[in-house]
């Protein structure tokens, strides 16, 4: 396959190339040498090298806006802390602060161009942020991009910091921001199922276990179960917020706080809470916090749990709507698009199907996070970029999946009440409700007859003169069959011999099982 076709199939976002092309350039230098940078780029030489080194995913980190905002929040808090402890001049702090606020407000995100998959434990992302913030600040101060003698990406923007504390802190904040959006959509999806539960509260249907007919229930009860599942998932995901609250900002390189003032960590955390509105706290053991990625495994596990449980619900929706003629056909999903290029009129359950696929991806991402967490060595885990990408992609896809399932599917589901009623009437499962009154043997015989003839169970009971029509109707009412109307009185069992049923013979008289 040609490279052109491969690139087109990925449907990726364009990212800049490190070469300047034919446009105006500026020259920037680092410890490895000098190179040309596009004059209009807010990123610099470190970002340029990353673009050249990591053409892997062809997706820039700007595809995750919450991560870009989180990076700016961290840099803004660091600048304010550096001012508080007296290690950065007020004018430079003001420039950094203003530049960060512009990014927080949604500007300059397109300048965050390094790929989501990168070596270096996130150094390229941190350098990209430092360079963009510095060049925005320079322009605010009337200088040209690249005039770092006035505001330096590392000496000033990155003051008192290391990638090893700013990057994981930003990732946790980004996850906290993204989680809020996810929980909002999950709550709306739960409410949509609850609304359908109320709408279908009187619609009787046959419940199933192991795909075989069981006993009656209401369609409302089934959808209420879906809503309850999502309520539980909402609670479990909400509980993960505390996992993200512990940060290692101030740890610098490996957790010892080298190059940072002793008061920096507390000041930075306090300012970060003011900026983000979160309730963050500095880890009690910064060396452990810098090297350990267990929090990301726990968070990923909670995402996977929610995704897989919703996938099961989508399996049920596809099965319940199967047909429309030769399947279950109990509910109708909104028809969203033509389902076949060869079979006219076919409509497929495409919305539940796409949610299934999101769940499969989230489960795979969980494996990636697990392996990346295990792969760290000694004082640092170098694989946090793939952890961040996996988790942020999972949250993004899940949030969008929750919304499309609600808007394009659940809100428009209708019940095939006539078909459901017919299935309940001919289902042998309803005989279970009569067993305490007519006995197991009689009920089993009637079930067999109903299966052979396709007859209505209530009619068969009346025809057999086992009870009157009014009594059968009362006992087989939707409220009683679905358990909504409790039975509190003693039930007299009516032992009736049924021809053809097996007997246990003990001595001269047989005793029916």
Q: Provide the token pair at 111.
A: 């300048």
Could you tell me whether strands 204-209 and 33-38 are parallel, antiparallel, or unpaired per DSSP bridges? Answer: unpaired
393-405: string of b/e by CB count within 10 Å (b at 16+)? Answer: bbbbbbbbbbbbb
Spatial CA neighbour of 408 closest among 338, 312, 334, 511: 334
Cα–Cα distance for residue pair 212/357, rounded to 1 Å:
27
Cα–Cα distance for residue pair 293/11, rounded to 1 Å:
31
484 C-beta neighbours (distance < 10 Å), count: 15
Which helix or strand (DSSP H or E) is residue 34 part of?
strand 33-38
Show Cβ contacts of residue 96 under 8 Å, excluding neighbours closer than 6 positions: 75, 76, 79, 133, 134, 137, 151, 156, 157
Q: Provide the token pair at 465.
A: 């003169």
Cα–Cα distance for residue pair 99/78, rounded to 1 Å:
13
Taking every pair of Cα atoms in the chain, the longest distance, rounded to a whole number of angstroms, is: 111
What are phi and psi for residue 228, nearest 5 degrees?
-65, -40
Spatial CA neighbour of 481 closest among 462, 465, 457: 457
Catalytic residue from among 340, 390, 427, 477 = 340
Active site residue 321: no
Cβ pair 112, 129 in contact under 8 A? yes
Could you tell me whether strands 246-247 and 281-282 are parallel, antiparallel, or unpaired per DSSP bridges? Answer: parallel
Cβ pair 297, 379 in contact under 8 A? no
Which residues belong to the active site? 340
């Amino acid at each position: 396959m040609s490279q052109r076709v491969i690139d087109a199939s990925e449907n990726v976002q364009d990212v800049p190339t490190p070469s300047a092309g034919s446009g105006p350039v500026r020259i920037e230098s680092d410890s490895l040498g000098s190179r040309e940078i596009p004059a209009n780029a807010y990123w610099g030489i470190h970002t340029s090298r990353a673009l050249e080194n990591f053409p892997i995913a062809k997706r820039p980190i700007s595809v995750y806006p919450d991560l870009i905002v989180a990076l700016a929040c961290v840099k803004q808090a660091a600048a304010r802390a550096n001012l508080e402890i007296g290690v950065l001049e007020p004018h430079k702090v003001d420039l950094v602060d203003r530049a960060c606020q512009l990014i927080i407000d949604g500007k300059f995100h397109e300048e965050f161009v390094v790929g989501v998959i990168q070596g270096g434990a996130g150094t390229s992302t941190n350098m990209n942020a430092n360079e963009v913030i510095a060049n925005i600040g320079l322009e605010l101060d009337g200088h040209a991009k690249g005039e770092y003698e006035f505001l330096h990406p590392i000496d000033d923007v990155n003051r008192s910091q290391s990638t090893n504390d700013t990057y994981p802190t930003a990732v946790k904040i980004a996850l906290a921001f993204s989680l809020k959006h996810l929980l909002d959509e999950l709550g709306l999806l739960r409410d949509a199922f609850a609304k359908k539960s109320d709408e279908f509260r009187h619609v009787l249907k046959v419940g199933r276990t192991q795909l075989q007919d069981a006993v009656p229930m209401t369609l409302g009860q089934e959808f209420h179960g879906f809503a309850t599942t999502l309520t539980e998932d909402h609670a479990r995901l909400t509980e993960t917020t505390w996992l993200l609250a512990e940060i290692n900002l101030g740890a610098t390189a490996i957790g010892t706080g080298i190059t940072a003032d002793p008061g920096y960590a507390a000041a930075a955390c306090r300012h970060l809470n003011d900026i983000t509105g979160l309730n963050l706290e500095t880890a009690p053991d910064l060396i452990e916090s810098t090297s350990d990625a267990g929090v990301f495994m726990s968070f990923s596990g909670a995402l996977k749990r929610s995704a897989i449980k919703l996938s099961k619900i989508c399996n049920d929706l596809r099965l319940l709507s199967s047909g429309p003629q030769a399947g279950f056909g109990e509910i109708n999903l909104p028809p969203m698009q033509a389902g076949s290029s060869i079979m006219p009129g076919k409509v497929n359950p495409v919305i539940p199907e796409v949610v299934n696929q999101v769940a499969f991806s989230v489960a795979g991402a969980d494996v990636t996070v697990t392996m990346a967490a295990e792969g760290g060595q000694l004082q640092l885990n170098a694989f946090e970029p793939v952890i961040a990408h996996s988790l942020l992609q999972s949250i993004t896809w899940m949030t969008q999946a929750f919304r499309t399932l609600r808007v394009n599917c659940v809100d428009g589901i209708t019940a095939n009440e006539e078909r459901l009623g017919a299935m309940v009437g001919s289902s042998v499962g309803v005989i279970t409700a009569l067993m305490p009154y007519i006995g197991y043997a009689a009920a089993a015989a009637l079930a067999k007859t109903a299966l052979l003839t396709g007859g209505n169970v209530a009619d068969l009971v009346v025809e057999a003169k086992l009870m009157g029509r009014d009594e059968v109707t009362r006992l087989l009412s939707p409220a009683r069959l679905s358990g909504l109307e409790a039975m509190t009185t003693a039930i007299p069992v009516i032992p009736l011999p049924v021809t053809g049923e097996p007997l246990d013979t003990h001595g001269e008289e047989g005793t029916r099982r």
